[in-house]
Structure formats: C-alpha cells, structure tokens
Structure 1
Amino acid sequence: MIMGLDECTIKSFQKLVLEESKCLPGPNSSACSICLSEYLSQETIKCIPECKHCFHAECIDEWPRLNDKCPVCINSATPVHADYVNP
C-alpha cells in the first residue's frame, strides 16, 4: 500500500517564486527532476523540507499525496519538527 502525506503537510512545503538569478536552496540542478525542464525566472517552485530538493510546484503537487519519499533522494519528505513526540 502506498502511503502519502496529508494536505496540511504538503501545504507546509516551502514555496517560492524564482528571481532572475534562479538561485535555489539546497542541492538542486537547474532543471526540475520530474519534468526535466529548466527553471525559468518567475516560476513557482516547492522544496521538500528535509532534503531541500526543489521542483516546479505543478510537478511536485501530486507526488507527496501518493508517496512520502523525495523523488530524487528517496529520503522522507515528512518534515521533522522539534516538538513532535513519537507515540
């Protein structure tokens, strides 16, 4: 069974609009790993909180609903919060 993330968690992913420099946080290339298109200025991207891999917002929006792992590094896409207590 495939386990995805809840909508609140998905909405918490960092979202930003690229400026002319197209500078991305984290270990990212100049292209989206899902659609393989280069990032352009003024495009909206989302970053997975734990690994900082970024994608076009429209490309990554469906992925975490179906899978709780980053499509690039396969690490958990679930944000780790300091106040979270494992039951």
Structure 2
Amino acid sequence: MGFPVAYPELLLPKLLLHTLSFLGFIRKLISILFSFLGLQEFLEPDIAWPETPTTLVPSPPSVSALLIREILPVIKFSDLVDPPDSCAVCLYEFENQDDIRRLTNCRHIFHRSCLDRWMGYDQQTCPLCRTPFIPEEMQETFNERLWEACGIPDLFDAEYSQISDLQIIT
C-alpha cells in the first residue's frame, strides 16, 4: 500500500520548515542591523552556556531565619497522628524516618529541608497558606530576640554612653 501522492497534508511540514527558516533569517537580519546601529542591548541575549559549570555558594541564612528554625520544632514523621501524604513544597511523599516541621499557627507539615530552604529566602510565612510562622503572642518575644541577636542594642548602648559622657564633660 504506500502513501498517497496528491494529498496536501504532506506539503504542510515542508511549508512549515520553509516558514521557520525564513523567520530565522529575518531574526538574524534584525540582529545584524541592531548591532550595526549600536543597539545590541535592546535584543534578547542568546543563552551562552559556560564551559565549566559554576557552583553557587549558598549565602548564610539570615538571623530571623535562624531564630524561626530555633522556634519551630523538628519531629519525626512517624510520630504524627493523621499526617498528610506529601510535602506541599517538594511534592514528595513523606516517609517514616523523615524529619519534618509542623507550623504552630496553621499546623501545615513540611520536610525540614524544604521549609529551611524556604526560610533561607527570608520568607516568614507558610508556603501553603501564607500564615506567619510566628504566632501573635510570640511576636514580641521574637522581635526582642531578633534585636539582641543582631547586636544592635550593644552598639546603641555604647554610642549612648559615649554621648552621655560627652555631655557630662562639657
């Protein structure tokens, strides 16, 4: 049996290929024209893959992320009663030996590493419902601990004592 010769559906791929190559030619022509006029920054840059893969150095977590990690408990998944099937961040199913964090406000459950990575981007709300990690009744204590951890009170106290010493001398 063979392919019928007179059907127009067989010409469509050839027509499509010619159209795409014509559009590629126009793109190249516009690129050359823009570079000739000195307007290269208005064009999208072509993706240049590096010869050697670069490794990203992770930035240290912020002080607030460290304090939130300290406040939120880490428990084993096997210790939960009526747990969800999977983590909403990575979408992997929980296993019995997994370390998880249960948020105190909304009670959502995530893998410890997933939530720690989320907090590493200075996020302070639940990835699922955007409820703050720190409950209202703990917010003042959290702010005080954050203030102390930043070292600002020591700096402020030192400057204040220097100013008061100057006023006493004059």
User: Taking structure 2 as the reference length, what is the TM-score of the superposition?
Assistant: 0.40
CA distance change for structure 1 residues 73 and 83 in 2, over 3 Å: closer, same or farther?
closer
Distance 1:59 1:83 in 2: 23
Can you give the 5+ residue segments of structure 2 that lack an aligned partner in the other structure? 1-61, 144-170
**1:6-48 Cα deviation digits (max 9, x unpaired):** 11222211210122x7535xxx621000110111111110112
- For the aligned residue pairs, the C-alpha RMSD in angstroms reads 2.7
Q: Secondary structure at the match of 2:140?
A: coil
Structure label with greater radius of gyration: 2
Can you give the 5+ residue segments of structure 1 that lack an aligned partner in the other structure? none
The structure richer in helix per residue is 2
Runs of 4+ in 1 over 6 A off after TM superposition: none
User: Taking structure 1 as the reference length, what is the TM-score of the superposition?
Assistant: 0.72
8 Å Cα contact 2:72/2:102 also seen in 1? yes
Pairing partner for 1:40 from 90, 95, 109: 95
Distance 2:80 2:138 in 1: 31
Aligned residues with identical type, % of pairs: 23
The structure richer in strand per residue is 1
Q: Which residue in the other structure is 1:70 paired with? A: 126
- Give the letter for the 2:99 counterpart: T
8 Å Cα contact 2:77/2:100 also seen in 1? yes
Q: State the structure with bigger RCO (CA 8 A, min sep 6), 1 or 2.
A: 1
8 Å Cα contact 1:69/1:77 also seen in 2? yes
